[in-house]
A and B are shown apart, each in its own frame.
Chain A
Amino acid sequence: MRKTTFSGFIRPDGSAGIRNHVAVISTVACANGVAAGIARAVPGAVPLLHAHGCGRVLEITMHLNTLAGLGKNPNVAAALVVGLGCETVQASAVAAEIAKTGKPCEHLVIQEQGGSRKTTEKGVKIARAFLEDASRIQRQACPLDLFTIGLECGGSDAFSGITANPAVGLVSDWLVGQGGTVILTESTEMIGTSHILSRRAKGPETAQKVEQVVAKAYKTTRDILGELATYVIAPGNMDGGLSSISEKSLGCIAKGGSSAITEVVDYGRSPKEKGLVIMDGPGYDAESIAALAAAGAQLILFTTGRGTPIGFPIVPVIKVASTTRLYNLMEDDMDVNAGTILEGRSLEDVATEIRTLSLNVMNGTLSKAEQNNQGGIVCLAAMTPAF
């Protein structure tokens, strides 16, 4: 049987992107204005702006790795890193990490350049040159073992776990079967299911890590919410008929399909193994998809019951609606209607539709979130207060 391929942009490190972005990465909120200004002056450049980069001592490494991970993502052809100078997440360190991939990467520090205007002028020149070089890279056929899909569910309802998530689960199983990688995250939404997930780990060490991730998520919610911990689900989920985090979790993990779990990674870190990987991270959509992108996912499959338009600046996001009601209500933002499963369509049929659309999006078709410019800002997870 001929293996399925996708049409990608090969990077110097051998990875393959499905988009060819020039990213302008701000390392600290203070540099957002300059990074945004550079991207505004260079149509085609994508600003990666966020609220962090300083003041949080315990998150320095996590935020540095996550920002560097975004630059390393195969969908990025070249990266310009813009820092202020006195922040804890240093631009030079982020740029040095991205440069390990061999892709073009430079950094500018506002306090060294002599202010925002001078930095912007210099940045515009760099970004223009990056774009010109990137435009010469041609797509070519790539094997699916170079591909990573990130999984996300947001605004779940009782049907997410019956329609959209199991359908995406079949797509996950397909990609793993093709030698690719699937990242399942949202540790909070695995609470109550560690006995099921750990049974699927490839070895006792991975099983133990799965249990640790879920136990940590539970402890955190318990420490903060006490007895309310088991109800740590958004009001929207409650209205949707889900009574507890365990019930939601069972539906949530259905996205990952039935493959063995090969590895457990920290927030925003790239897996070394292929297959189904679990990444520790929050259930909050915006922080979760940032980590999936930083971990190297070229595409995100996002299931939703209540409906959300969110996308990500450098990674196409495909929305799978859990019901026809939602699909019709928010058709502008929904790519696939898995609600047809409730009307008699088979799970396999919907999975085929998601898989076909995914391949089209890999090959260049814009997902709804891309069509609607749902890039937004990058939300990085933070566990401690700022000093």
Chain B
Amino acid sequence: MAHNVMLINRKDNVGVALFDIGKGEKILLSTGAELDAVQDIPYSHKVALREIRTGEPVFKYGEIIGHARSDIGPGAWVHTHNLQTLEL
């Protein structure tokens, strides 16, 4: 099966879903890594690729796009509900 989550930069701890991924479905990365989706991940949304604890930075494009508002487990959906965006 082809990968269904894209990793943009090696530093990133989130990936981008290439399709709607249902809770419990396998997440396959272009790097070959695998994990389970712990909730529904809508097409084009972000999914945590590893544990991100409260306050830890969330990386995409190899840059910090915000910090976790709460503990985010691998395979969880990452969006405005659990991502505190940068204070500029």
The chain A residues found within 8 Å of chain B, CB to CB, are: 157-159, 161-162, 191-192, 196, 218, 230-231, 238, 240-241, 243-247, 250-251, 305, 323, 342
Contact = CB atoms under 8 A, between A and B. Distances in A.
Contact of B65 (A238, A246, A323): A246
B46 to A, nearest CB: 6
Contacts of A196: 63
B44 A243 contact: no
A161 B87 CA distance: 22
B63 A243 contact: no
Interface of B: 6, 8, 16-18, 42-46, 60-61, 63, 65-66, 78-80, 83, 85-88
Where chain A touches its partner, the secondary structure class is loop
B39 to A, nearest CB: 14
A191 B65 CA distance: 12
Given A192-B86, A243-B80, A246-B86, A158 B63 contact: no
B79 A243 contact: yes
Among A162, A238, A243, the most chain B Cβ lie within 10 Å of the Cβ of A243
Contacts of A191: 88
A230 B45 contact: no
Given A159-B16, A230-B86, A246-B85, A241 B45 contact: yes
Given A158-B16, A158-B45, A162-B8, A247 B60 contact: yes
A241 B83 CA distance: 12
A350 to B, nearest CB: 15
Given A231-B80, A250-B65, A342-B18, A244 B6 contact: no
Nearest to A162: B8
Nearest to A196: B63
A370 B87 CA distance: 42
Nearest to B79: A243
B61 A231 contact: no
A196 B86 CA distance: 15
B88 A157 contact: no
Given A158-B44, A250-B63, A250-B65, A244 B16 contact: no
Contacts of A161: 61
A200 B33 CA distance: 34
A230 B86 CA distance: 8
Given A243-B46, A243-B78, A243-B79, A230 B61 contact: no
A162 B16 contact: yes
Contact of A247 (B6, B44, B66, B88): B66
Contacts of A246: 63, 65-66, 85-86, 88
Contact of B80 (A192, A238, A240): A238
A241 B79 CA distance: 7
B44 A159 contact: yes
Given A162-B6, A250-B60, A192 B88 contact: yes
Given A162-B8, A247-B65, A241 B88 contact: no
Nearest to B64: A246
A250 B83 contact: no
Contacts of B16: 158-159, 162, 241
A323 B17 CA distance: 12
Among B17, B61, B66, B87, the most chain A Cβ lie within 10 Å of the Cβ of B61
Given A231-B85, A243-B78, 14 more contacts: A158-B44, A159-B16, A192-B86, A192-B88, A231-B80, A238-B80, A240-B44, A241-B42, A243-B46, A244-B85, A244-B86, A246-B63, A246-B65, A342-B6
8 contacts: A158-B46, A159-B44, A161-B61, A162-B6, A218-B88, A231-B80, A241-B43, A243-B65
Contacts of B18: 342
A224 to B, nearest CB: 15
A127 B61 CA distance: 51
Among B8, B44, B63, B86, the most chain A Cβ lie within 10 Å of the Cβ of B44
What 3 pairs across the A-B complex have the smallest Cβ distances? Answer: A244-B85, A241-B45, A158-B44
Contacts of B85: 230-231, 243-247
Contacts of B88: 191-192, 218, 230, 246
A245 B6 CA distance: 21
Among A218, A238, A250, the most chain B Cβ lie within 10 Å of the Cβ of A250
Contacts of B86: 192, 230, 244, 246
A240 B44 CA distance: 6
